[in-house]
Structure 1
Amino acid sequence: MKIQKDKPWIVIYSVMALMFIVLHYLLELKIFEPWAEYIPVFKKLSISLFLISLILLISKIISRIVDSQNYLEGNRYNLLRIIRFLTIVLNLIVVVAFLFQNIYAAAVSFGLISLVLGFALQAPIASFIAWVYLIFRRSYLVGDRIQINGLRGDVVEISYLDTSILECSGDYLGNDRSSGRVIRFPNSLILREEIINYSGPQVPFIWNETAIQVAYTSDLQFVEDCLLEATRADFKERYPQPQTYNNEQWDPAVYFRINTFAWMEAVISYPVEPQDTTGRRNRILRAALPMLNAAPDKVRFPEGALR
């Protein structure tokens, strides 16, 4: 979709670049001699517009190449952001060079303006520096689930000054599902707060656990076998690749603990993708509880006076 949208712009910028460079040389024709005093300005304007069109054309071509490669979504997003930023910077240089007589004057003016803006816009500049840090340090990418300063959600945008996350859990939910609220925080926050990243291409899973309450008289080995069977079956169905499923690092485990009140808890610990914590818990319970309920002589749940 993005590649198709770039195609007409490539054609438009190509035509514009060709048109401005042709105009630049046409201005040397004798028919324009009556306006000789304006010719240098128009020639400089035409070459500036040609350079801007050329920069935009090259940026669209590079963006199209990046989109066609098999990059991770977060890496692709960062590359496109860098291309867009460099395009803006180069176009600004062309505009400043047009407004001033020479490069030296443009550089001095640009330096003075930057110095003044540096004092006036310290917070946005800090956020921009943090964006550069994010690009190279890769603390999080678009699509990652992160937690920072008490905020938790999935990263949906990393702009030059702030980051937007789609909140999960939040004030109105007791699970890890998306709340529908978008939270934006300045990028500078990452320079002074710790970041918890639940996602990553090398470690796709986090560990979660679900507890069910059973009576002390239950067959604990049977309970453990049922929970492990349900969990492994769900994992194998969702991740059928043999190399993933056979990795002992992600093998689930069951342990038992005494509840604060009067019953025992069987706890199944299992790997899960950060965005699938609620769904995986539901699937495990829907598969395990029928097996447990089908053996009332082996599994007793605390109820009534047995609590």
Structure 2
Amino acid sequence: MSHFPYELPVLGSAGILVMAWGGAWLARKVIDARDISPKEHYRLYRLVNTTITVLTIAALIVMWASKLQFKGQFWGLIGAGLAISLREPLLSIAGRIAIFAGHMYSGGDRIEINKLSGDVIDIGFFYTRMMEIGNWISGDQYSGRTIQFANAQVFGTPVFNYTRTFGYIWDEVRLPVTYASNVKAISEILKSVGREYTREFLQGAQKKIETMQRYFMVPRFEVEPDVYIRVTDNYIEVTLRYIVDPKQRRKASSFIYAEAFRQIRERKDIEIGSETMDLTVHPPDTEAKGNAATRAADNPTAAVGKPQQMEDTTRQTAEKLIGSPETESRKAA
């Protein structure tokens, strides 16, 4: 009875798969036992899952390659085949590792990449899926579509994360008022409304800034609402700058506009401005037009000449060159 030549690779492969399953189960138990947020739980579990999968595949390749006679050729063929045919999938797997290891984004984060914006709902081995926001929808709200893009796009492409690290963004509300309006009053109204809206999370935002400054070279900046004024050709633009949860931008601006307009209507010294155009109407000036003699003498038609009917000179030109038929007949006679 001949000995089975691949007994060790088969048994070794089975052992590797069992160890991989056991490692994944143990890692999940350890992650579940930790008191962490759902986003961090998702990130750690996906990172461990990806790492175990990559190591398992590498161990299986090494196990089976040891039984081949020409190992150098084997590895050369494997490398060339992977480089050519599996370039994008391998880059996507590497991108997934980079996403979790580099804390680029995780499930639930709001991101923008390649002008695509949305909330991340899943990070697979090859693709990231997110719920789209914007597009034909005014404001950062869901459009209902699911976007899927390759994880490899994180290499060499800027990834804008709205919710990572800090968790807040700055937004602005602009109100145009006329030149005669009480600018100081409208500034105080916008500041008070901004403070009312941001009062609940200003303290949390300040703590996150202090945390960022321990890890990054983040300059000191204010999180209190502030007002800025700009004079335009038609009105005075008053702008309120405030921080807001990225997923509440539209609700925040709607609340600020509604409350500000409610207080503006109670005042008579504030008027909303708009783009205007001044028209100046002059009465007819008979002297500028001149009298009848002047208008008669100032004749544009006479100055440029009246167009005349063009005379057909083709026959006269031909007669000069070859002579007329009547003249030729008299000469012959």
TM above 0.5, one fold? yes
Query: How far is 1:281 from its partner?
Result: 0.8
Amino acid at match of 2:172: E
Per the alignment, residue 278 of structure 1 pairs with 250
Q: Secondary structure at the match of 2:253?
A: helix
Per the alignment, residue 8 of structure 1 pairs with none
CA deviations over 1:61-80 (Å, ceiling 9, x no partner): 31132133233544432321
Q: Is 2:264 aligned against 1:299?
A: no
Instruction: Rate the CA distance shift 1:124–1:136 in 2: closer, same or farther, 3 A.
Output: same
CA deviations over 1:14-42 (Å, ceiling 9, x no partner): xxxxxxxxxxxxxxxxxxxxxx9999999
* The structure with more radius of gyration: 2
Instruction: Rate the CA distance shift 1:285–1:159 in 2: closer, same or farther, 3 A.
Output: same
Find the aligned partners of 1:242 and 1:163 in 2 and give their Cα distance: 29
Find the aligned partners of 1:45 and 1:246 in 2 and give their Cα distance: 55
Q: Determine if contact 2:176/2:274 at 8 Å carries over to the other structure.
A: no
Which structure 1 segments of 5+ residues have no match?
Answer: 1-35
Per the alignment, residue 178 of structure 2 pairs with 215
Equivalent of residue 249 in structure 1, options 205, 208, 222 = 222
Query: How far is 1:119 from its partner?
Result: 1.7
Equivalent of residue 71 in structure 1, options 36, 41, 44 = 36
Of 189-198 and 243-252, more deviation after overlay is shown by: 243-252
Q: Is 2:198 aligned against 1:235?
A: yes
Q: Determine if contact 2:50/2:97 at 8 Å carries over to the other structure.
A: no
Find the aligned partners of 1:196 and 1:114 in 2 and give their Cα distance: 34
Amino acid at match of 1:255: Y
Q: Is 2:103 aligned against 1:124?
A: no
Q: Determine if contact 1:130/1:187 at 8 Å carries over to the other structure.
A: yes
Question: Structure 2 matches for 1:166-185, cutoff 5 A?
Answer: 166-170=131-135, 172-185=136-149
TM-score computed with the length of structure 1 as normaliser? 0.71
Per the alignment, residue 145 of structure 1 pairs with 110
Instruction: Rate the CA distance shift 1:230–1:194 in 2: closer, same or farther, 3 A.
Output: same
Find the aligned partners of 2:274 and 2:48 in 1 and give their Cα distance: 63
Q: Secondary structure at the match of 2:128?
A: strand
Query: How far is 1:233 from its partner?
Result: 0.9
CA deviations over 1:235-276 (Å, ceiling 9, x no partner): 11355659559997211111122356x333221111112211
Amino acid at match of 2:269: K
Instruction: Rate the CA distance shift 1:122–1:45 in 2: closer, same or farther, 3 A.
Output: closer
Query: What percentage of aligned pairs have identical amino acids?
Result: 22
Which structure 2 segments of 5+ residues have no match?
Answer: 211-220, 279-333
Find the aligned partners of 2:84 and 2:236 in 1 and give their Cα distance: 62
Greater fraction of residues in helix: 1
CA deviations over 1:143-163 (Å, ceiling 9, x no partner): 222222221222222222222
Amino acid at match of 1:298: D
Q: Is 2:22 aligned against 1:57?
A: yes
Instruction: Count residues with an aligned counterpart.
Output: 266
Amino acid at match of 2:272: F
Q: Determine if contact 1:166/1:180 at 8 Å carries over to the other structure.
A: yes
Find the aligned partners of 2:275 and 2:13 in 1 and give their Cα distance: 84
Find the aligned partners of 2:208 and 2:43 in 1 and give their Cα distance: 31
TM-score computed with the length of structure 2 as normaliser? 0.66
Instruction: Rate the CA distance shift 1:122–1:51 in 2: closer, same or farther, 3 A.
Output: closer
Q: Determine if contact 2:6/2:67 at 8 Å carries over to the other structure.
A: no
Find the aligned partners of 1:250 and 1:55 in 2 and give their Cα distance: 48
Query: How far is 1:131 from its partner?
Result: 2.4
Instruction: Rate the CA distance shift 1:164–1:106 in 2: closer, same or farther, 3 A.
Output: farther
Q: Secondary structure at the match of 2:167?
A: coil
Find the aligned partners of 2:128 and 2:185 in 1 and give their Cα distance: 48
Q: Secondary structure at the match of 1:237?
A: coil
Query: How far is 1:302 from its partner?
Result: 3.8
